[in-house]
Amino acid sequence: MGGGNATGEARPERFSRRETLALIGAAALAPVPGTARADEPVLAIEDAEFAAPDGVILRGAVYRQADEAPRAAVTIVHGAGQNPSRYEDWGRIYASAGFAALIYDKRGCGQSGGEYVGNSNTAAANLVRLAGDAVAAAAWLRSQSFASGIVSGFAGPSQAGWIIPPAALLTGADFMLLLSGPVCTTSQSQEFEAQGADGPLRYARFLREESETDPLPVLRQLDIPGFWIFGGKDRNVPVDICVRNLDALIAGGRPYQYHIDPDAGHFQGSAAHQRAIAWLEERFPALAKAN
């Protein structure tokens, strides 16, 4: 599934905005009466707490519709950056679509314990650690009674492209949704980003401080539906390399698809989420029964 009509939001791109990758999030609070539109479902928001593989306590919230059982469960995984700590907007979007959506503070941020790794946040050891956090989050979500027996998977932006595939493999997830998620090595992404101002210095620092991560070996092992949405004007991820790699994976029998919004950049808007949800309903027809 290649390019098509413009559906996302084009925004000016600078490498320095990587730290503001996510939509603005906040600590999970009960919805304020009267703030939702009449046609929006009432959401139940419950605290979540679970231990990462190394014992660090991570905290977040699960969003779901208050008066209807969820038809799928999704664990939201972070992109790069320390703030916002939690993706509240993502939780509301997917819960409103009938999902149980778990959002959580990245380790060392918000209410979660542990240390946030800054300068070397794409080092292989840190990505493995963050994948372990995602595994623990998904396991907690699946343990909840409302998530028993339903389709479950992961969604996330950008850096989550290196975190979600190993987490999906370890948890037996049913699907992956990735917005601007790289399907290339960490060094290929860094080299692409380094084309901007002061880029060569950043890339040299990456080579000194960080080790390589390649998502392709895990993506070759996975046999679950995966959907990537890219922006044609992305200046953080080399979309052409990612698409070439995805084409090879698809030709090899992997059940993956992608869409390129030619006018979008690295930061995807609400239209991308709706496209991802619609794709998921096509792949799992039973999920569309509530519509």
Min mean pLDDT across 27-36, 125-134, 176-185, 281-290 is at: 27-36
142's enclosing H/E stretch is helix 124-143
For the range 184-187, what are the long-range contacts, defined as Cβ-Cβ under 8 Å and sequence gap of 24 or more? 184/215, 184/237, 184/238, 184/241, 184/242, 184/245, 185/212, 185/213, 185/214, 185/215, 186/122, 186/124, 186/127, 186/162, 186/210, 186/212, 186/213, 186/214, 187/212
Residue 286 CA: distances (Å) to CA of 30, 64, 144? 30, 18, 21
Residue 76 burial by Cβ neighbours in a 10 Å radius (0-12, 13-18, 19+): buried
Whether this model's pTM surpasses 0.75: yes
Residue 31 burial by Cβ neighbours in a 10 Å radius (0-12, 13-18, 19+): middle
pLDDT of residue 83: 67
Average pLDDT score, the chain: 85
Whether pLDDT at 156 is above 90:
yes
Whether pLDDT at 5 is above 50:
no
CA distance 50 to 68: 25
Q: How confident is the model at residue 84 (pLDDT cuts 50, 70, 90)?
A: low
CA distance 127 to 164: 10
State mean pLDDT over 23-36. 31
One-letter identity of residue 263 = D
> Residues for the chain: how many in total?
291
Q: What is the dihedral of CA 272, 277, 279, 284, to 10 degrees?
A: 170
For residue 217, the SS3 value is helix
- DSSP annotation of 30 reads P
One-letter identity of residue 179 = L
Residue 157 burial by Cβ neighbours in a 10 Å radius (0-12, 13-18, 19+): buried
Min mean pLDDT across 41-55, 98-112, 118-132, 177-191 is at: 118-132
**Is 2.170.190.11 the CATH number for 15-290?**
no
Q: How confident is the model at residue 197 (pLDDT cuts 50, 70, 90)?
A: low
Contacts of 222 (CB under 8 A, 6+ apart): 165, 168, 169, 176, 254
Positive or negative, the Cα torsion across 14, 17, 22, 24?
negative
Structure tokens given for 43? 């959401």
Residue 289 burial by Cβ neighbours in a 10 Å radius (0-12, 13-18, 19+): exposed
Q: How confident is the model at residue 6 (pLDDT cuts 50, 70, 90)?
A: very low
